[in-house]
Amino acid sequence: MAQEASSSTSSKTISLKTGDGEIFEIEASAAKQMKTVQRLIDDLGDDITIPLHNVFSKELPKIIEYYKKDITGEITKDFEAEFVKDLNDDEVKVLFLAANYLDANKLFEFLSQNIADRLESKSVEYVRKYFGVENDFTPEEESKLREERAWSFRGIKEDE
Kindly list the residues in this chain that would bind other proteins in the complex (CB under 8 A): 36, 43-44, 53-54, 93, 96-97, 100-101, 108-109, 112-113, 115-117, 119-122, 124, 127-128, 130-137, 142, 145-146, 149, 151-156
| Beta carbon nearer to other proteins, 6 or 152 | 152
Q: How far is the CB of 25 from other proteins (least distance, A)?
A: 21
| Beta carbon nearer to other proteins, 68 or 122 | 122
Helix (H, G, I), strand (E, B) or coil at 132: coil
Output the DSSP codes for 23-83: EEEEEHHHHTTBHHHHHHHHHH-SSSPEEETT--TTTHHHHHHHHHHHHTT---HHHHHHH
What residues contact 53, with CB distance under 8 A and at least 6 apart? 19
Q: How far is the CB of 41 from other proteins (least distance, A)?
A: 12
Q: How many CB atoms lie within 10 A of CB 103?
A: 14
Q: How far is the CB of 110 from other proteins (least distance, A)?
A: 10
Q: How far is the CB of 134 from other proteins (least distance, A)?
A: 6
